[in-house]
Structure 1
Amino acid sequence: MHSRVYDLHRKEVINVRDGTRLGNVGDVEIDTDTASVLALVIYGRLRFFGLFGREDDKIVPWSDIRLIGQDIILVDTSSPLRDSKKKGLAVKEEGPPSPHDSSL
């Protein structure tokens, strides 16, 4: 069966070990060097209607996927899923410029 990344988007992910609903596919992690799919990304749930951000994203390794169905994706994972730190949301606190800073 052939599928597109677009077809994976929003499918529900279920852990077959305990029947836990992990969430919906939000994104796909790809290794651009080898042109291979590494993992599915499940976006974290919103905290208090999104006012307090959201929980960390969960990463499901591609090797844990057992079945991709019409509406759901079944995964077999006994280990806790790797949490992904959201990129672009952290604000770096900057102090005064260093006299050794080469970017000046």
Structure 2
Amino acid sequence: MRFCELQEKEVINICDGKCLGCVRDLDIDECDGIIKALIVPGPGKYFGLFCRDVEFFIPWCKIVKIGPDIILVEIDEKEAKHKVT
């Protein structure tokens, strides 16, 4: 699977059924070349569109299933949020 194919899939949290968004980036271990996490932009501050100040780091081990259209994950949303620097 190519990265551009991952970017087209929506990430759904199976804990609450909430759509977290689409994959924007990957966190890769430089030494091993292993994908450590998916990075998904958080919700926008104004009308859900502008000024995203958080993003979700979803560890690879929290991915339940990658389907043709969606990626199912099982995470605690509070723990996955990280400030954008």
Same fold (TM over 0.5): yes
Query: Could you tell me which amino acid in structure 2 is paired with residue 28 of structure 1?
Result: L
Aligned to 1:73: 71
Aligned to 2:80: 82
Structure with the higher strand share, 1 or 2: 2
Larger radius of gyration: 1
> Match for 2:31 among 13, 30, 33?
33
Is the alpha carbon distance of 1:63 and 1:78 closer, same or farther for their aligned partners in structure 2, counting shifts above 3 Å?
same
Aligned to 1:95: none
- Unpaired segments ≥5 residues, structure 2: none
Q: State the number of aligned residues.
A: 83
Structure with the higher helix share, 1 or 2: 2
Measure, in 2, the Cα distance between the counterparts of 1:79 and 1:44.
10
- TM-score normalized by the length of structure 1: 0.69
Superposition RMSD on alpha carbons, in Å?
Answer: 1.8
